[in-house]
Structure formats: C-alpha cells, structure tokens
Amino acid sequence: MPLTRKAYRAAILHSIADPAEVGIEASYEYFEDGLLVVDNGQISALGHASELLASLPADIEITHYQDALITPGFIDTHIHLPQTGMVGAYGEQLLDWLNTYTFPCESQFADQAHAEEVAGIFIKELLRNGTTTALVFGSVHPQSVNAFFEAAQKLDLRMIAGKVMMDRNAPDYLTDTAESSYLESKALIERWHSKGRLHYAVTPRFAPTSTPEQLTLAGQLLGEYPDLYMQTHISENLQEVEWVKELFPERKGYLDVYDHYQLLGERSVFAHGVHLCDDECARLAQTGSAVAFCPTSNLFLGSGLFNLPMAEKHKLNVGLGTDVGGGTSFSLLQTLNEAYKVMQLQGARLSPFKSLYLATLGGARALRLEERIGTLQPGTDADFLVLDYNATPLLSYRLKQSKSIAETLFVLMTLGDDRTVAQTYAAGNLVHQR
C-alpha cells in the first residue's frame, strides 16, 4: 500500500496526564499554532507548526483550520444502542423507567432490519458529536450487536459492545437463560472480538436481572478470553441498591455481588457508581476496575450526584458516559456541562482540563486503551476532532472575549454541542463532516 501522509494545522490541545495526579499545568499540551501529521491512520508527529513544517516533504497535503481546535476523539464509556428511540422519556426514576420505556423499546431489536436501522442512526449520532470510541450495551438479542459491529467495521471505528445478559426480573419477551446468554455471547466473541478495531464486552445488565447461574457464566466467559471487557451497572439509584440487598442477602453489598462472581478486573467498567462507599471505591481501584460517570442521566432520572473527589482519592479510573437513553445527549461536551454542575452542587470544582481528561485520556485509561486512543501522541490511532470556534453566533461572540485556552475550553464545554464538531476523523479517515 502506498504511504498516505497528511497534515492538519490548527490550535491543538490534548491531555497527557490526570490533573488530580500531576496538577493542572502538567496535565496537557497546547500548541497555539500546531501541526498534526498522520501516516496510514496513525499519528506520526505532533508539535508547533513552525518547528515541524520544515521537516515535511514539499508535496504533503496540509489542511489548515482557522478559528478551530483539534482535540483527541471523545470516548463514551457507557451508552445503550437500543435506547436511542426513547431518549428524553418523561417522568420516572430508574426502576419504573426501565419497565415503562426501556424494555418495550429494546424488544424491537428482535427484528434484524430494525437493529440495522438504529445502529446506522446511532453511529451517525456518535460521530456527529465527536465520539470516536464507545462502550455500548446492545439489547438481549445478538442481532443488536451484529448490526452495530457491522456498521462500525465499515468505518474502521474502535468500538466495544456486548449483548445484554438478562434472565430474570424483566418481561418474558426480553429474557434469555443463563445457558443461552453464555452460548450467544461466546458466538459473538468468536465472530467479533479483536477483529480490526472491535472488542467484545460481557454485558450482564445489572445484578437484579441476572440469576447467580448467569453471573457465574459471565465470570466464566471472562476467564476463557482474558482480554475481554465486562460492563454492567452499579449503585445508580437508592431503590436499586436496596433491591440488590434483598436479592443477594448473603453478600456484603452491591459491589460484593459482582466481586463474588469474578466480574471485577482491569477491563471491567461499572456505570454510575453514584452511591458507592469508600470501601467499594477502594476495592474497584485495587482490582483495576473503572466507573463511568454519567451526569446527564443521573440528573434526568434523579439518581444522585457522583462523588468524583472520592474516586480521585482512591485513584479509581473514571471515564465519562452519556448513558443515552437515561442520559439526554450524545454530546460529551453537553455531558461535561452537566458534570460541572454536579460538582458545583457538592461544593467542588471541575476544571476544564480535568473535563478534557475525562472525555479523552481518562476514558482511554478506563478502557485500558491509552496506548491507542485518548491522546494525540505519535504512535497512537489518528482519532481526532476539529472543534469550530464559530459554530454558533453566541459561541463565536463569547470566545472573542476569551483570554486563555482554559477559558476557551470551558466555554466550548458549556456552550458547545454537536454543532461545535466540524469534523471527526477515525483511523485517519474523515467519518463526519458537519
């Protein structure tokens, strides 16, 4: 194959560390007039345009963006493909919301054509919003995952997904069995895991909808394929936490249920974690597990406020999740807008550089993919975004008042949304243009 080399010139910003560990100033690199060089889908150079331009061949194609910021692609560590059609459903908290809206909506994915249609819409929405990698719940039907991976593979996206395992406490039309969930998951793993940039996640919905037999088999799958992911929900809602205690009285608490069935580990991501205690955070950190912070969902469903400072104290990996359809936006910029408010309500501040970290490198670390995505370091996949400073009249006017990259970044996260994303690149390919 001939070498395809391209360069992109603009203001460029990326996270290189967690501000909670190294301080804000040491957590990012910013090039006011930067250059990003891409060779065959990977980043080969990053730096000041003035320093790099001389080293490039005269005939290289350079795309120069004015009034724009290049950042790494956003990483969504918790989202539901089959809930796309019910985002913004009125008036319930978690358990009633599942029964009233979610389960009927997910039942439609028994139909292959429906699964394919929604997978196409879903991926377009992710890319329009600048999300280049997501950890995705399918429905209980294998066709939901097949449709998603087929659509993602065509665009060479780095995506992770799994079929929901759910054999109790859900409508009959939406349950599998412990045995069928194991066999169907195994078939999907054999077909998709590590094919191109795709990865499989073992996906028990949450402890209340799986029998001990099913959770045992979920743990068994993780043992059989050592580099699989595991995704589920934890401690989202107080009623849910009490329900888990009733269903598993022999366990110390909610996290201990998953721990007992060997579901904690370096590629395990637990969504929400709003009502975790100190000991649970410590245990998650000790096992290398991660939590997905889903502020729009936690506010929309009235679940509570995620305690990010507690997670930081334990050095627990935290990614950001939109949690569509409990969450109300595919946009990680809008999700960060809400994350800031969640911190404000707890008397804590969320700096724009920590926010950038959560949406990029923090998500990559939660997924153990920081060698491949989440930064613009040479050698990583060329998954990146072009954010437009003039995306809306208000944004344009407001950014003209900005005196620093910190202020610019914060305004992008409070006023920005899908309109701010001018272009999305995955593996060096333009996959979305506004």
DSSP class of residue 270 equals E
Question: Rounded mean pLDDT of 370-395?
Answer: 98
- 8 pairs with which residues across the strands? 36, 63
Residue pLDDT, tens place only, 292-316: 999 999 999 999 999 999 999 999 9
SS3 214: helix
CB 160 within 8 A of CB 135: yes
| CATH number for the domain formed by residue range(s) 5-72+375-433 | 2.30.40.10
- Cβ burial of 243 (10 Å; 0-12, 13-18, 19+) is middle
95-99, 190-194, 363-367, 430-434: which has the minimum mean pLDDT? 95-99
Give the Å distances, CA to CA, from 199 to 76, 189, 217, 283: 14, 8, 19, 25
| DSSP state string for 27-73 | GEEEEEEEEEEEETTEEEEEEEHHHHGGGS-TT-EEEEEEEEEEEEP
Q: Tell whether the model's pLDDT for residue 262 goes beyond 60.
A: yes
Handedness of CA 123, 126, 127, 132 (dihedral sign): negative
Tell me what percent of the residues of the chain surpass a pLDDT of 90: 89
As a whole number, mean pLDDT of residues 236-262 equals 96
Residue of higher predicted confidence among 57 and 4: 57
Segments making up each domain of the chain, as ranges: 5-72+375-433, 74-330
Residues 6+ apart with CB under 8 A from 103: 170, 171, 174
CB 297 within 8 A of CB 303: yes
pLDDT at 412 over 70: yes
- Is 50 exceeded by the pLDDT of residue 129? yes
Taking residues 84-96, report their average pLDDT: 82
The answer to whether the peptide bond before residue 325 is cis (omega within 30 degrees of 0) is: yes
Whole-number mean pLDDT of the chain? 95
pTM: 0.96
Class of domain 74-330: alpha beta
Q: What confidence score (pLDDT) does residue 3 get?
A: 61
**Interval 278-290: pLDDT, tens:** 999 999 999 999 9
The one-letter code for the residue type at 210 is: S
pLDDT digits (tens, 9 = 90+) for 148-188: 999 999 999 999 999 999 999 999 999 999 999 999 999 99
pLDDT band at 1 (very low <50, low <70, confident <90, very high): very low
